[in-house]
Structure 1
Amino acid sequence: MTTDAVADPMPPAATHAAPIATPGSNRLQRLMEIRVGIIPLPIYLLLLGLIAAFSFMGKISGEVTVMIAVLVVGGFTCAEIGRRIPVLNAIGGSSLLTIFLPSFLVAHQLLPAPLVQQVTTFTKATNFIYLFITAVVVGSILSMNRQVLLQGFVKIFVPLTAGSVAALGVGGVIGWICGLGFWRSILYVVIPVMAGGVGEGAIPLSVGYAEALGLDQGAMIGQILPLVFFGNLVAIICCGALNSLGKSRPDLTGNGQLQPDNGGMAEDAQHRAYSSVTNIDVATAAAGGITGIAIYVFGTLIYRLVGLPAPVAMLFLVVAVKLFRAVPASIEEGARVVFRFFVIAVTYPLLFSTAVALTPWHELVAAFHPANLITIVATVVTLTATGFYVGRCMKMYPIESAIVNACHSGLGGTGDVMILTAAERMELMPFAQVATRIGGAITVTLAIIAMAHFKVL
């Protein structure tokens, strides 16, 4: 029952003299080798029973140990179900179900209220999405070849820019055909989809629009927000389909590597990034993890001083660390091990907590107006397809280039996690952050200027 998207093959067991075991203990050991995600089956059933008992008694605790148990069980349960649904599993079913099933259950009061309350409080209080992004961004960048890293960051802006322009044109035309109007489609549908999420996209966009038009900001955000959620859903489906394409056409993908490297160094680095084998000790892995946290905290200081979002500042800082060889290879390896741990063990629990606490089902459903749906699908597909073909022309791996472009229509950092989970390419997180954060900021700025000039209602 192992969830393939996140679990690595188990290493061979060490050869040693085994203690004499009873038939009952042998059966238990065999059951322990069956897993739901990362959880041995007997442990899974025990935790499931305990969580259910405490929830229905109204005694579920919000302490971190209990919350880890709840999120791990919830996340890997949804992922396992999604992996086993035909057709859906070909388009990222594990991530789709982990994102939207809990949201549906919360909206229809099918999860115990005490559990929902504690998960929501824990998720909002800890904001551990940023810990996840820190581990993934720092670990993936430090695992890269320096030359490939620099070339990738320079080249990715070409398919990203081309895709954004093409998506604006196609989305505007399709919206006009559907009766929304050309400029209204661009400003009220296409731009919100590419704005970079909620906190750094939809909210500043709604404030800018409301000020330009003299309208209520609350009503404006209510109009924009559902479109952002649906755009993220379309991007998840597109990237799940791209992942399936990559499995049938391996010549089109670098399996998380953005571009080929003729010298073979990038390929070696990529194998190292995916590997679960390491010869470093626990202290060095911990040193790699705290190095990433220090870089993020430094990014928060930059945010306080100049207003650059902390994840973006962190991105620039860790690239500088890599380019200037500021940390030794052992620390880089430690950061890689932490990165692999978060990808394997934390991705689905994080998606589950986000779905319960931060993904409003009714707002997603509110976007299901036919004209909006068609326009959003056309926008995201154009953005993704342009990334595929332009990336191919620039000798990048087209599937990876398309996935990064699709992240431009993601729901901020959370959306990047969702999209890259469906694509099974978490190594692209640094480039996804460029598409979401920087691309979104540019999009929002230009859109507010355009709205102030044209005042489209």
Structure 2
Amino acid sequence: MEKGKTLNIAGLPWYLCLGACVLVFVAAYSGALTTDVAGALAFGCAVSALLYEFGERLPIWNSYIGGGLLMVFFGTAVLIQFNILPDKYAEAIGEVIQGSPNLLNIFIVFLITGSILSLDRKILLQSFAGYIPAILGGLACAVLFGVIVGAIFGISPTNIIIKYALPIMGGGNGAGAVPLSQIYEGATGEPAASYYSHAIIILTIANVICIIAGGLLNKLGSIKTSLTGDKKTLMRNAGTLAKKDEKVASDTEDLRGAFFLALTAFAVGSLFSKRILPSIAGAQIHAFAYTILFVVILAATGIVPRSVCAGAKRLQTFMIGVFGIPMMVAMGVDFDLMELASALSPVNLIIAVAVVLGAILGSALVGYLVGFYPIDSAVTAGLCMANRGGSGDIAVLGAADRLDLIAYAQLSSRIGGGIVLVVASVVFSFAL
């Protein structure tokens, strides 16, 4: 803040922000606030405004743990655990963001469209061509590190791979732990729940490690700038983005076109994932994977006017700037601290750290070899493989200050998760 200027919180002068928060909380704690989209977002904005400012000012936390965004995530979880936030409004924002209205889908779709259409065509094709090797590098090293550390505790390589590495690297809960447990049941005849109960515990621990690691990698990038780029592209020596808003003008019509195009891409993704090609090699393919592929094709062919591409980038910037912070409240509502505490045995924690560390180093190394910045490759191809799927991607990228890389993160969760399911089908069949 420059000398003589008023302190701003959440885009408002501090006194207006605090006044707004008080009014929202009075409405909520009196039960007068609605639990629809408007009421839930008002509550989320008030909670996130205060927690974000606190996280940005708390020493050590603001520099090494992840700053305001992670404070919103963990702070909300703490407030929920101690019943400080009214249950019905906490549930309302969780439902609005990840339930039936599912604003998280809209958020991700606009980020995907803007991040892909804003890239130069050559950079786009080169980065996506090298991304699968970076994912595989992270997966291989995650397994290797897990096996090495597991040997210290007398756990066999087979058990490490089946019970630790695959659940962590499987793309989250719904796309990872759940189908993995079904594959396990089919291979062994044992109830899927027996596998799932352990898988979700390990995945929960790894998810938290990934979020914290995202903040630490961002700090490393600020110290060692040669390891990262502009946080918007993976490719080294890519230069500035070719279609930035300041280079190409866009008006309201372009925004309207970008808005419609983004939602069309999601419709195409849903069509392919539900009807045309729902699975490949036995692995379910998520709508977002097809959405990304469709937008990549649009960008590669060059048929989208540059002004509409600039409009898509503006929509992406708007979503990150306006919705990115309140979204973390919903992520915190969905995070059970007691579940984490009950799972934090020393063995589980150490092995999970080893697997995540392997994912970071493997994806960074292979990413570097294919022309990526190591930190950006580690965040997207590594951490976003090892976290808890879609919501985990938002939390990790938020902590790493790299939400512009959401398209790559979603590839990790969706395509990478599919690769893990195929691997699991083979491993479970021969090892159990």
Separation (CA, whole Å) in 1 of partners of 2:212 and 2:357: 10
Q: Give the direction of change, closer, same or farther, for the CA distance of 1:364–1:448 in structure 2 (3 Å limit).
A: farther
Aligned residues of 2:214 and 2:399 also touching (Cα < 8 A): yes
- Paired letter, 1:119: I
Aligned residues of 2:255 and 2:312 also touching (Cα < 8 A): yes
Separation (CA, whole Å) in 2 of partners of 1:370 and 1:110: 30
Choose the corresponding residue for 1:96, options 54, 62, 70: 70
Separation (CA, whole Å) in 2 of partners of 1:350 and 1:84: 20
1:369: Cα distance to partner? 1.0
Aligned to 2:38: 65
Per-residue CA deviation, residues 300-331 of structure 1 (Å, 9 max, x unaligned), is 11122121311001000000000011210111
1:48 corresponds to 2:21: yes
**Map of 1:13-24 to 2, 5 A cutoff?**
none
Choose the corresponding residue for 1:393, options 369, 375, 387: 369
Aligned to 1:281: 251
Separation (CA, whole Å) in 2 of partners of 1:432 and 1:117: 27
Choose the corresponding residue for 1:157, options 128, 132, 139: 132
Choose the corresponding residue for 1:211, options 186, 192, 196: 186
Aligned to 1:439: 416
Per-residue CA deviation, residues 137-187 of structure 1 (Å, 9 max, x unaligned), is 100100001001100011122222122111101102212312333221221
Per-residue CA deviation, residues 111-156 of structure 1 (Å, 9 max, x unaligned), is 1123223223323121111111101110010000100110001112
Choose the corresponding residue for 1:367, options 343, 352, 362: 343
- In structure 2, the gaps of 5 or more residues are 279-284
Query: Which one is further off, 128-137 or 386-395?
Result: 386-395
Aligned to 1:337: 314
Query: Which one is further off, 92-101 or 192-201?
Result: 92-101
1:286: Cα distance to partner? 2.5
**TM-score relative to the length of structure 2:** 0.91
SS of 2:32's partner is coil
Choose the corresponding residue for 2:299, options 312, 322, 325: 322
Aligned residues of 2:150 and 2:157 also touching (Cα < 8 A): yes
- In structure 1, the gaps of 5 or more residues are 2-8, 10-29
Aligned to 1:131: 106
Aligned to 2:287: 310
Q: Give the direction of change, closer, same or farther, for the CA distance of 1:448–1:88 in structure 2 (3 Å limit).
A: farther
Aligned residues: 420
Aligned residues of 1:56 and 1:112 also touching (Cα < 8 A): yes
**TM-score relative to the length of structure 1:** 0.86
**Map of 1:351-362 to 2, 5 A cutoff?**
351-356=328-333, 358-362=334-338
Per-residue CA deviation, residues 51-86 of structure 1 (Å, 9 max, x unaligned), is 221222223311322222111222232222222222
1:190 corresponds to 2:165: yes
1:271: Cα distance to partner? 8.7
1:268 corresponds to 2:240: yes
SS of 2:193's partner is helix
Separation (CA, whole Å) in 2 of partners of 1:44 and 1:294: 37
Separation (CA, whole Å) in 2 of partners of 1:271 and 1:88: 35
Separation (CA, whole Å) in 2 of partners of 1:252 and 1:114: 44
Separation (CA, whole Å) in 2 of partners of 1:385 and 1:343: 28
Separation (CA, whole Å) in 2 of partners of 1:289 and 1:77: 31
SS of 2:100's partner is helix
Aligned residues of 1:83 and 1:94 also touching (Cα < 8 A): yes
Choose the corresponding residue for 1:107, options 52, 63, 81: 81
Query: Which one is further off, 91-100 or 251-260?
Result: 91-100
Aligned residues of 2:243 and 2:306 also touching (Cα < 8 A): no
Aligned to 1:14: none
**Map of 1:391-430 to 2, 5 A cutoff?**
391-404=367-380, 405-430=382-407
Q: Give the direction of change, closer, same or farther, for the CA distance of 1:421–1:271 in structure 2 (3 Å limit).
A: farther
Separation (CA, whole Å) in 1 of partners of 2:57 and 2:343: 28
Aligned residues of 2:120 and 2:243 also touching (Cα < 8 A): no
Query: Which one is further off, 244-253 or 281-290?
Result: 281-290
SS of 1:215's partner is coil
Choose the corresponding residue for 2:356, options 350, 371, 380: 380
Separation (CA, whole Å) in 2 of partners of 1:217 and 1:137: 34
Aligned to 1:5: none
Aligned residues of 1:258 and 1:400 also touching (Cα < 8 A): yes
1:343: Cα distance to partner? 1.1
Aligned residues of 1:38 and 1:345 also touching (Cα < 8 A): no
Instruction: Give % identity.
Output: 27
SS of 2:329's partner is helix
- Paired letter, 2:263: I
Query: Which one is further off, 96-105 or 288-297?
Result: 96-105
- Paired letter, 1:388: A
- Paired letter, 1:329: R
Per-residue CA deviation, residues 264-299 of structure 1 (Å, 9 max, x unaligned), is xx42317937x6x97422232232122111111121
Separation (CA, whole Å) in 2 of partners of 1:102 and 1:344: 19
1:298 corresponds to 2:268: yes
1:212: Cα distance to partner? 2.5
Aligned residues of 2:35 and 2:88 also touching (Cα < 8 A): no
Separation (CA, whole Å) in 2 of partners of 1:284 and 1:149: 22
Q: RMSD over aligned Cα, in angstroms?
A: 2.2
Separation (CA, whole Å) in 2 of partners of 1:197 and 1:388: 21
Aligned to 1:18: none
Separation (CA, whole Å) in 2 of partners of 1:165 and 1:321: 32
Q: Give the direction of change, closer, same or farther, for the CA distance of 1:283–1:254 in structure 2 (3 Å limit).
A: same
Aligned residues of 1:192 and 1:224 also touching (Cα < 8 A): yes
